[in-house]
Structure 1
Amino acid sequence: MRRTCLLYQSDRPIPYLSAWQWQKQLVEERKQARREGIDLPDVLLLIEHPAVYTLGQGSSLEFLKFNLEDHNIECHRIERGGEVTHHAIGQLVAYPILNLDYHQHDLHWYLRQLEEVIIQVLAKFGLSSQRIQGLTGVWINKSGQNQKIAQVGIKVSQWITMHGFALNVNMDLSGFDRIVPCGITDCQVCNLNQFVPDVRVEQVKIAIAQTFAQIFNLEMQLPLSTSL
């Protein structure tokens, strides 16, 4: 029997701080429910953000090419792993709130499953992609050069997950020029629409939701209220 997962989406960009707060609320609700012997369904938030930078909890500031005191640039240090990354409209960000008690108590497995979701989504659009040994995320080889199309960074507390992955669909990639993406020197980034010019964000949302459900053996359900 498939476990239920509530799918929250939005047709408008969601401010980063709003989504971050909501994730923390969902995680705490599931921790409290567990203490009370209640099993709440898993959740997948699938959204876009206005331009923002996020630093992992151990990220080095040396990978920033801007001043943190510049109030025109939104930047937050958060509790996920990994180095600095960039979000913007045209990039789909997936935040799974999963209770790994019902999946696997294995963070390595979980990271590889998230990457597998991305790899299979890209395959649905006719693209071959791969992991790189020792790194997280997903790359596409273009003219002999690996270009990163998706970033992965998670936080797991008491086996409840938060944060997740970001897939570049048709975003303005120039925002990555202000950082060393994921702390990888000479890291090149790319968009899905560079390979599939007519791709639409809505198509990719559907592919992510379907593939995520298959990989994690979930039954996706739209909540009674889908507003974010």
Structure 2
Amino acid sequence: MSHSSKLHKNRCLLYNQGLMPYLEAHEWQRSLQGDRIHDPNLDDVLILLEHPPVYTLGQGANSDFLKFDIDKNVYDVHRVERGGEVTYHCPGQLVGYPILNLQRYSKDLHWYLRQLEEVLIRVLAVYKLQGERIPAFTGVWLQGRKVAAIGIKVSRWITMHGFALNVCPDMTGFERIVPCGISDKPVGSLAEWIPSITCEEVRFYVAQCFAEVFGVEIVESQPKEFF
């Protein structure tokens, strides 16, 4: 990287959204990714939002990890093109969808996954909590409980999907699945350690730590192309 480009940080547009249906957010990500495949010079984006209760399965995910009949259920279930197994989203879980052009950073998916983990480990450190990685698994753990799941999809080095951090969700929805296909490691939420924590305050730290880890300038923005 030349000296001058170090001085000019990449901009990353921050779209802070509220509660958004999963399929609407998915469609939005795909359109942002498509725009950037078409024009790689567009700014990177970080979307932060929450979803109404929904189960999603990664591309090769095993539906045996659902503890209910996928055809006779009352829950929203979607199979999508990210990597990873089944996961659960609901209010109180902060979801981040970075739409990044990895050609600006590193064309290495393992590097990218570790950077996403690093963002969340730094967020936990703000609260004096020691987030951990477990070799061979993707995500972030806190005292043996998985508090953040990560699953990505990359096309022509443009990313979509991302991470989900359990801030203060109703955890009962996780009882109906084997989260991420890992049966012997429980899920947890930050509220177990910090009862008063909210997604609202955590958003701020996620954006800040994301800017640090990726070396970008966060620009709070209102999306115009989608709504």
What's the TM-score bracket when you normalise by the shorter of the two chains?
Answer: over 0.9
Specify which of 175, 178, 183 is matched with residue 176 of structure 2.
178
SS at match of 2:96: strand
1:216 is matched with 214
Instruction: Say if 2:73 is the partner of 1:41.
Output: no
Specify which of 69, 73, 76 is matched with residue 75 of structure 2.
73
Structure 1 residues 103 and 175 mapped into 2: Cα distance closer, same or farther (>3 Å)?
Answer: same
Name the amino acid aligned to 2:119.
V
Name the amino acid aligned to 1:164.
G
Unaligned runs of 5+ in 2: 1-7
Q: State whether residues 180 and 187 of structure 1, in contact with CA within 8 Å, keep that contact through their aligned partners in structure 2.
A: no
Q: State whether residues 92 and 198 of structure 2, in contact with CA within 8 Å, keep that contact through their aligned partners in structure 1.
A: no
Q: How does 1:5-24 map to 2 (within 5 A)?
A: 5-10=12-17, 12-24=18-30
1:30 is matched with 36
Greater shift, 193-202 or 174-183, is seen at 193-202
Instruction: Say if 2:5 is the partner of 1:3.
Output: no
**Separation in structure 2 between the aligned mates of residue 63 and residue 112 of structure 1, nearest angstrom:** 25
Unaligned runs of 5+ in 1: none
Identical pairs, percent? 52
Q: How does 1:53-202 map to 2 (within 5 A)?
A: 53-141=55-143, 146-202=144-200
**Separation in structure 1 between the aligned mates of residue 25 and residue 107 of structure 2, nearest angstrom:** 25
TM-score by length of 1: 0.93
Give the length in aligned residue pairs. 219
Deviation at 1:186, TM superposition (A): 2.4
**Separation in structure 2 between the aligned mates of residue 113 and residue 74 of structure 1, nearest angstrom:** 30
Deviation at 1:71, TM superposition (A): 4.8
Name the amino acid aligned to 1:195.
W
**Separation in structure 2 between the aligned mates of residue 65 and residue 154 of structure 1, nearest angstrom:** 24
1:107-161 C-alpha deviation (Å, 9 max, x unpaired):
00000000000000000011011000100000011xxxx1100001000110000
**Separation in structure 1 between the aligned mates of residue 72 and residue 23 of structure 2, nearest angstrom:** 18
When the two chains are superposed, the root-mean-square deviation of aligned CA atoms in Å is 1.2
**Separation in structure 2 between the aligned mates of residue 209 and residue 224 of structure 1, nearest angstrom:** 15
**Separation in structure 2 between the aligned mates of residue 81 and residue 2 of structure 1, nearest angstrom:** 29
TM-score by length of 2: 0.94
Structure 1 residues 71 and 185 mapped into 2: Cα distance closer, same or farther (>3 Å)?
Answer: closer
Q: State whether residues 85 and 182 of structure 1, in contact with CA within 8 Å, keep that contact through their aligned partners in structure 2.
A: yes
SS at match of 1:6: strand
Structure 1 residues 217 and 64 mapped into 2: Cα distance closer, same or farther (>3 Å)?
Answer: same
Instruction: Say if 2:52 is the partner of 1:50.
Output: yes
Q: State whether residues 148 and 163 of structure 2, in contact with CA within 8 Å, keep that contact through their aligned partners in structure 1.
A: yes
SS at match of 1:92: strand
